[in-house]
Chains A and B, each alone.
Chain A
Amino acid sequence: MIFEGILWDVVDPQTVVASPDAKSGYSSPNAYLNKSGGKCAKFVANPINHSFVFVLALVAGAALSALLRGGVSREQRIMRKIWRVNFYDAPWKRYLVAFVSDFIVLYGARLAGGCTLGHMMSDMMQTAISGYIFSAGAILAGIPHRNPAFPSGGLVLCPRSLSQS
């Protein structure tokens, strides 16, 4: 969200402006960036902050782990076996599904005000009701995956050839 705000601000410098009246010292004509006293607007104006740096460091940490492990095989990097079975070596289908999937994931995360890390781990740890409600939604959505009609565990995947071991 901070990254998008930064890009938007580059295109339109009025996206985030300094505002002494705002609690955070910054405001935006966009309602989302301006909520909570301009909290998100402040992050966009000052991207070197704990939240943004944390995400970048998270990626770096995972990269280091992958590097130390010798990386991922070339075949797996392009398309996993289960996707090959379903999409017959058509990577564009896999990439389209991946794009739409994260659209759904991120839009859902914005609606919820957080993802599994923020709600399940952080909020449940603090016994916040929002964490339990989020988990209930996640469990509800997971029910089809336990149904024999979806043996692969994927809503999109209706494998033509998948067997139980």
Chain B
Amino acid sequence: MAVSHYDPDETARNLDPAEPGESMKKTFGSGMKPNVLVYISFILPGLLLYIVFILIPIAATALNSLTQWDGVGEKVFIGFDNFVKLLIDPIYAPQLLRALKNGLWFVALSFAIQMPTAIYFAYMIDKYLKIGELFKFIIFLPQVLSMVSVSVMALLFFDPNFGSLNNVLMKLGLESLTRSWLGAGKYLRMIVPLLLSWKGVGIPVMLILSNLKSIPKEYIEAATIDGANEFTRFRIILLPLLAPSLTTSSVLMYLGAIGVFDIPFLVGDKHGGPGGVVDTLGTLFYRISFGSPYLNNNIGLGTAVAVIQFLVMMVVSTLIVRVRRSKEMELS
């Protein structure tokens, strides 16, 4: 019987571009260095799509933010006047500040709800594997619903006159507990992050679960032998090793909360609900850029809001990644 010959050195040479083996030479050319044109041909389609659909629109938006434009007429270059207006104008500056504060509130609350929930669910699914598959499906189900569907469901649930919540409370004789859920700021500013968390928890659960599965069981077994209880094992061993998935989840939660538009727009309205409690950078952008059918729109000023939102999202998410990565390096 023929035995295939495995030469680990040959394999290593094939994988090392500085010392290509025969098969590498055949694939990438006879020179010592691989053919750069081949690399470019692989990444070019994706790169072109990225440039056309991501980079060019971002650049166009940034340029529009330097103009006064109603969306159809002539664009008039005004430099940074739109940004100055957003920062100091007595009409717009308070709206921008309010949108930023609301965004940070949504981030904080989403994080406080989603992170421990996701860790708990992932841990329990990993622990009770047989029924875990069913729970994975249930937890991930909201993720596949569109934001619009979630918002409409929320409207039907929380409507003060026809909504399920108030109707159930009244049927149970608890009319005193019925509220104008969407009309009172103190409730509405809790409902939006709650909806965001309910819808968004699926992906962090999946990320943390896959991270959990990658942790060698020997670590847990060793800790058990040393007398550590479940909580101690989780806190000292598992939690630090979940750092990569926690970092990614943190960034996703932050971006999802600070960039939210659909839910506040549909559940509140484009003015941010009572007292503007759910006014976000997204609804502010929409309101300024597209306003109402009867009023003039200011696309230039609106895109300045979009640029500010982009910077807020990019800078803070980069900071989160850098801080978390340095912690991961310490642990490793």
Bound pair (A, B): no
